Structure 1
Amino acid sequence: MHWFKTTSGRKGVPYPSVSRIVMLRDKLQRNWFLIGIVVVISLAKAYPKLGVKGGPLHPEITVKYIAVSLIFFNSGLSLKTDELTSALKQVRLHFFIQTFTLCFIPCLVWLFLKVLSFTEINEWLLKGLQVVGCMPPPVSSAVILTKSVGGNEAAAIFNSAFGSFLGIVVTPVLLLIFMGSSTAVPFLNIFVTLFMTVVMPIIIGQIVRRFIKEWLERRKPPFGTIGSCTLLLIIYTTFCDTFSNEALEMDKFSLISIAFIVLILQMTFLSLIFFITTIKRLNFAPADTVACLFCASHKSLTLGIPMLKIIYHGTDFLSLLSIPLLIYHPTQILLGGLLVPTVKSWMTNAKKSATTAVPDKVQESI
């Protein structure tokens, strides 16, 4: 790094231009996955023949089976099950998070879509919103945001992991209930495929982890990077199918409308969660509220895209169904990041008021 020289010969502040370059590099590194999504979709638009079904990449094999299995083997290998034991006893908190994200949100989205069905928004993009509603919480982003605020990290880890396992069974059932059985693959075959490409790789990953646990903790492999790169491949092949099909159209009005609706939905979910979990009768601690805010409102892209690839395999409108989830993922991260200072300040004040309230009650009793 280049520095200004002071009159005493000591190093001063860095050149502004160099600082800007470093800041830009850091931002690119932090947001490389979001940039990657834009890049792979652009590549799919420019040259869809490479990743189209039956093309050189053969996504019907390499993506549907190998890439999806790799993602969940990676998840099983990286999941620290011993960290979940401390949060097992908070049953009431877990029940709220899982019920809100896998019951309340799908029902609320379904009611909302009944109103939106009278608009001119693309019907498959609207169905994609229902798909988002049926997804389980993510493993990474909810935990990271909860930790950054100082919330109940153990509860966030437990609910993210448990929600992902639960979603393997619950999400296909919810899609069947809310969207009907209009898929190209029977649901019995879907569950078999999900078990072989999702459940089994996670179990195998956990078994392998037991034997190489010390090596993993010492070397710390980049599990997140491996999973994200594999996910980018899945997104790329999905959109290759879209852009190779000239019959599909994505109008700007529908895309902008969906992006706006996603933002409104997330703000609504966050407001409802905060309002409910701060009711005194429920007796949730401020740290529990933080875990609920991020776990119950966030949806998993890592689990969602591979599951959509399996459940709606062969459907011409697969990419349109995927778009709301692709919008929801960066929105929840950006919105969560913006809320971190506010939520952190609220939690600090809430803890202070709780500690001052205890001596007051003791004094009143005396």
Structure 2
Amino acid sequence: MCKDDGVNRHASVAIGECVHKYVAKAELSDDEHGVAAPNSDEEDSKPARNTSLEQSHGPAASQRFEPQESTQSRSKRIVNKAGHMYHQNSFLILVTCAILLAYAYPPLGANYVAPHITATWIAVIFIFVLAGMGIRTEELTKALKRVYFNTFVQVFNFMVVSGVVYGFTRFMLYVKALPESLADGMTVTSTLSVSVNMGIVLTKLVGGDEAAAIFDAAFGNFLGVFLSPALILMYLGLNAEVNLGQVTLKLFLRVVLPLILGQLLRNFFPPAKAFAKKYNKYFRQGQEFCLVFVVYTIFCKTFLKGNDAKIGDVFIMIGCVLLVLIFLMVLSWISMLVLFPNDPKIQAVGLFACTHKTVAVGVPLISSIYADSPLLGLYVLPLLIWYPTQLVLGTALAPYLAKYIERREKELKQQLDVEAWLHGRGGSQFPPYLTQDQSVLHDMCYGADEQFEPTESQAIGTV
């Protein structure tokens, strides 16, 4: 007890000496610079306000002038908020405008712009050429080596999603809340592979691992050639014929070859590398515009062909898809946090790649299965609702995911700095991770330029 009191007294004396030195130094500095204490007489001698407007034009002039200033500042504030909102949600706003334009005049995007060339080939190739130019080869190699992550994403996308959807649709059929055509169409949708373009663009939008997103999109679509027909046969007992050679060739020409071309330009053509380094921040915008154009043409085709689904079926399907998709996204996010807690960029990739479904492969596949059915529109409807729903949810979450990734990256870096300092590794200037009280005492006693050496418990407690 006495020993503790002695330690406390010594600590109190040390702190008191530090405070005394700090006060003496401050007083000496004030005397040297001629700084005087504030005087109440000076406050009283300050003029109240300029009354020239009131003297020349009366008090009403100043009263009229003040609301004009507040109105201008309010208008400027509204414009700034609107600009900030657009910057944060530009992709979602553009997609919404594209869908509205497609609804207003479908023939433009369905026929006149030649979507089978511009959207299916040129836009997709442009997306992956930019991706190849903007990604370092080391990042692609690292993505290939993530066997555990890639396996989990494909298993979740094909097996978990289809299993959950199949169980949900059977329950809805049992309670007679869903027509069989919509239930089967939703099941077929769940067996499809990940979308080729959307996941990559959204990953780049939030600052995720673009290389991992590209690999999972390409690999998932290749697996879908084999797994989708097998899963449809297992769940529904239907034979789905897919032209293996044709699908593989299109995948190579539209995804793999443009990616290789972008990598070759980046690594072996110095002007292209300099261009990519200078304008890399604009690559994301270019990819966004391409994806918006693809979405526009898809909805133009949908609105032009029409659908024999009733308005009630549409609302039922929207509710079912929204419910299932939110559940699957929450499940995939929790899985990412548990399995990959120290890689926020990978977590963002997993959130999109685990739940997204391709409409480019899905519509032809469903059309080939139910080509002779008069209810073909009902079978396609779940996919046509799933696609925009995943797009809207992804773009709505994008600003929050971007902030999460940035914050989590800083936290992980601080943890690494703490570990490096505690074990004597690295040449970092750690800390400056001090509490406010520690920082004040440090400046008072040692000066702002001297380093403070905290104990191990203090260092750990500040992270």
2:199 is the alignment partner of 1:131: no
2:103 is the alignment partner of 1:45: yes
- Shift of residue 258 of structure 1? 1.1
- Shift of residue 33 of structure 1? 1.8
Q: Is the 8 A contact 1:287 1:347 kept in 2?
A: no
2:391 to 299, 323, 329: 329
Alignment partner, residue 336 of structure 2: 273
CA–CA distance in structure 1, aligned partners of residues 123 and 361 of structure 2: 12
- Shift of residue 255 of structure 1? 0.8
CA–CA distance in structure 1, aligned partners of residues 82 and 363 of structure 2: 34
Q: Could you say if the C-alpha distance between residues 349 and 88 of structure 1 is closer, same or farther in structure 2, counting changes exceeding 3 Å?
A: closer
CA–CA distance in structure 1, aligned partners of residues 288 and 198 of structure 2: 17
Alignment partner, residue 351 of structure 2: 297
After superposition, what is the alpha-carbon deviation per residue over 1:169-205, rounded to whole angstroms, capped at 9, x for unaligned?
Answer: 2243333332358668623211112222222222222
Alignment partner, residue 318 of structure 2: 255
TM-score normalised over the length of structure 2: 0.58
Q: Which amino acid aligns with 1:226?
A: G
Structure 2, gaps ≥5 residues long: 1-48, 51-68, 173-177, 424-455, 458-463
Alignment partner, residue 283 of structure 2: 223
Q: Could you say if the C-alpha distance between residues 287 and 42 of structure 1 is closer, same or farther in structure 2, counting changes exceeding 3 Å?
A: same
Alignment partner, residue 222 of structure 2: 169
Q: Could you say if the C-alpha distance between residues 102 and 110 of structure 1 is closer, same or farther in structure 2, counting changes exceeding 3 Å?
A: same
Q: Could you say if the C-alpha distance between residues 159 and 71 of structure 1 is closer, same or farther in structure 2, counting changes exceeding 3 Å?
A: closer
CA–CA distance in structure 2, aligned partners of residues 338 and 56 of structure 1: 38
Alignment partner, residue 4 of structure 1: none
User: If you compute each CA radius of gyration, which structure gives the higher value, 1 or 2?
Assistant: 2
Alignment partner, residue 17 of structure 1: 75
* Bigger shift: residues 294-303 or 63-72: 294-303
- Shift of residue 157 of structure 1? 4.5
Alignment partner, residue 246 of structure 1: 306
- Shift of residue 137 of structure 1? 9.2
- Percent identity between the aligned chains? 18
Q: Is the 8 A contact 2:195 2:358 kept in 1?
A: no
Alignment partner, residue 440 of structure 2: none
2:135 is the alignment partner of 1:79: yes
CA–CA distance in structure 1, aligned partners of residues 291 and 199 of structure 2: 14
Q: Which amino acid aligns with 2:342?
A: A
How many residues align? The count is: 328
CA–CA distance in structure 2, aligned partners of residues 44 and 136 of structure 1: 20
Q: Is the 8 A contact 1:67 1:234 kept in 2?
A: yes
Q: Is the 8 A contact 1:235 1:305 kept in 2?
A: no
Q: Could you say if the C-alpha distance between residues 235 and 106 of structure 1 is closer, same or farther in structure 2, counting changes exceeding 3 Å?
A: same
Name the SS of the counterpart of 2:126 in structure 1. helix
Superposed CA RMSD in Å reads 4.1
CA–CA distance in structure 2, aligned partners of residues 126 and 221 of structure 1: 39
- Shift of residue 330 of structure 1? 3.4
Greater relative CO, 1 or 2 (CA 8 Å, sep 6+):
1
